[in-house]
Amino acid sequence: MPRDNNRHHLLIDRACRRIETAETAPDLATLAAEAGLSPWHFQRLFKAAVGISPKRYALAWRRQRLDRALRAASSVTDAIYGAGYAAASAAYRDSQHLGMAPSRLATGGVDEEIRHATTTTSLGPILVAATARGICMVEFGAARTLLAELHRRFPRARIEPADARMRELVRHVAAAIDDSAADPALPLDIRGTAFQVRVWQALTQLASGETISYAELAARVGAPGSARAVARACASNGIAVLVPCHRVVASDGALTGYRWGIARKRRLLRREQAAVKPQTVR
């Protein structure tokens, strides 16, 4: 059985690469034939491993291609057809998952206003950025590079310094990082594929000090067996601590990769778990 599982993972990984590199997404029958499986069996294995069907994976990947193409193309129309869409209407429908319309993405979010501020925390400097809808970025890093990272993520958005509302948000974010008992309930502007958003929203439901394995989180979002896809969604999280991917651990409880470093992950978990540990009555 383990040998079959390894073979199936290789087949699904190969199918994912096939979808990602194809100019036109291959249909289910084609993918299944290339894997040497029946369409029904292939679809079941794919959904168990990735969390969504091959068709939905292809749609999510096409949306990402559209995002990249719009930032580089000379026109919105060229980008839409270059990303593999047969009609502009489909691209505009899909663009709702990207957080802004294609015309705005094409200009790097030129109509999007993002306010930001940096501050120091017990885990190092952070930059907090927010749109009118909520916090869209919390990033650890060297103070001199944080603003450059914000511009890289939102290359042509209108980047403005913090106003009074933003400074209040930053204080709450810093409190959430420094004090595990803090529960700021801050507004978040979470953007990603449908599957990523499901994973991130599930993470926000975890209690302070609670840990969950990638496999358990996959089951919680209704995609049992998609631990690898969950791990990729965690790695794509751009809102540190507030979307608490530091609470996701390996099946044996070991600490695995963390976007902002294993040392920070360990300190966050130790602090949270110490805060919720029952006090001994004397």
Q: Which tokens sit at 162?
A: 């913090």
Strands 135-140 and 124-130: antiparallel
- Which residue in the list 16, 136, 234, 245 is annotated as catalytic? 245
Q: Which tokens sit at 3?
A: 């040998």
Q: Kindly tell me the burial class for residue 175, based on how many C-beta atoms sit within 10 Å of its own C-beta (0-12, 13-18, 19 or more).
A: middle
Helical packing angle, 39-50 and 227-235, nearest 10° = 40
Q: Is 16 a catalytic site residue? A: no
Q: Which helix H or strand E contains 17, and what residues bound it?
A: helix 2-21
Q: Is the CA virtual torsion 209, 214, 220, 221 positive or negative?
A: positive
Q: What is the CB neighbour count within 10 angstroms for residue 257?
A: 13
The C-alpha atoms of residue 253 and residue 255 are separated, in whole angstroms, by: 7
**Catalytic center residues:** 245
